[in-house]
Structure 1
């Protein structure tokens, strides 16, 4: 009989293994010595040790599924429980039990991870749906369209949810995209109609602009071109393939008219510049009459100057106020001299002025007498009141005396 710490062979050739539950029959051996029998079944044990070690490593370092891991564990456990090996089978059972716990922990971890990923995917898809529904109302057609296409790519990269939830969210997402596409299609259809109407309007404007290009009725035609330009801007843009051609024709017609007008106006401006030079010389001649000392001579000289002035044509509009103002200043000086002469030689006016002056002088003298009397009587308040009244009358008298001086004393 032969034995080791984990097994033995009896005299009949039966091989036993020692376990916590007692000895278990491993098998019978008749092909050789008991030592060879133990060695054979010990190698069976070593093979189980290697297989369990490999499985432990796969569970720890690979993404072996819990189902496949459990199947491998069950297969190894059957071999251990069959007692066809000699060695510490109890330790192998413990290792397999521990491996089951590890697999279960990994199974639960992966379950929680899948649940977390599912929740994250749900939130991500709900956010995509919410953004898509908001974009569905946007009028930023290019930007919103590009963003919606990017959202589709993002959606495709997310994990699927349960079928019901995934279908419901996709339906909302797809409906938002369809709503945006429908609005965009309607917008551009309306825009195409507006551009077609703009093309028809601008063709009419071009026709009128081209018909006016040869006009020499400068003012009204220029005003009409301004109106046509306002109508052009109000019409909006035509289709791109028509807009540039229509604009070139419209602008070209205006250029023909305004070039002709500019040529005519350049000649006119040169003539008006010469007129301005002549009128400035006359204004300078008129200013030499100032100050007026010989009214009759000045009046005759100014009349001669003015006749020559009227014979000269227009001057540039921006220079007109200044040069005409110089002539008007001389004219006003002559008129004021005439008025002064008339007042000086008008007997009725002189008599009225003398009468008014006399009345005011009498009133002033009377007030002075009353003030003296009030002071003598000690009535200072009345005297103060009369003095204030005297100040007003004296001012009127001074003014009347000044007016009387204009009549020569």
Structure 2
């Protein structure tokens, strides 16, 4: 019985599937970081003479034949040698078999070319693999353009050293750029530590410098230690100057507190005066002195102001009470404004007719301004009611605008489509028995459903 397995020489090179493919970059979001100035640029990738050849399927009949005894002959260029024998079937099948073996070898060469051209992996290992593969060519049991394959392997071997040398130069250039950038950051920190008085922004900048510093790699330990000491010394100098500044500020604020307490005592002494004109002038002078005194400690300044303002309010409230005629006019104005507000609160209805509400409000506002001033104690409450009416109109305008916004409507529709997609995926997972995956998908669908409902509610409420 004829042996069904073709008898040929065994290739010593690795199969194409055994040559690792170049690693792919892992996707992910860009990392944020400070950008105070130009970053060091990575050197340009070296030009590689070797180019990847996309090998078409070999036609083995162009590179050899099988004779009547079943011997398989490689015939290309100056090469004429037997590479194996074929006893298993038709000669065409044997030619195809040895052609496929050549294609496998060509694929290995193409992988090495692409690895070298892409700059992935160690060029020296690529060179070693190319040498080993080239050494198998004289005995390889293949039918194909072996001399061309040898030429390509020789090109890989010749270029591998130059690529390795370029990588070394790139690493050196990257290290120099990293050192230069850290020197720039150290110099900037030294300038901040010695000169700046913008304490908040300068403190933020020093922290940003530190954040960027941590991202700069490739500096040797000795150089990095020297540069780090420069930065740390500059930061300590800044902290000392800032601490001294705020110590001085605390002393100034303590003096301001003492001065304001004196002004409060003077204002309280004047608060019972009925000499309206001269006393009002004295209160204006006290207020000028108050502003010139500066700020007291933050946690006390507001309380001091309330005491000072309270003394003023006592005096001016009494003075206002004495102006009976003006108060009577103001009271009448307040009553008129209350009546106007009562009418406006009933008639201005933007929910029913927005345009009519606008017109009505403009008329009411004109009447409001024509009425005149009201007593101080009623001013805030009356204005608050008027602002509430105005806000109803502005809210209705905003609601009307949003109800016609196609982006909001489209977003609600997108959310609903996503819910349907996730629920469909959950049903498919259930059908495949993937209960956990189905539960996760339904949880996601519920989240998207809530967002869809919120978006739909925002549209329907308009």
Q: Which TM-score tier does this pair reach, normalised by the shorter chain? A: 0.3 to 0.5
TM (normalized to structure 1)?
A: 0.48
TM (normalized to structure 2)?
A: 0.43
**Which is bigger in relative contact order (C-alpha 8 A, separation at least 6)?**
2
Q: Who wins on radius of gyration, i.e. which is larger?
A: 1
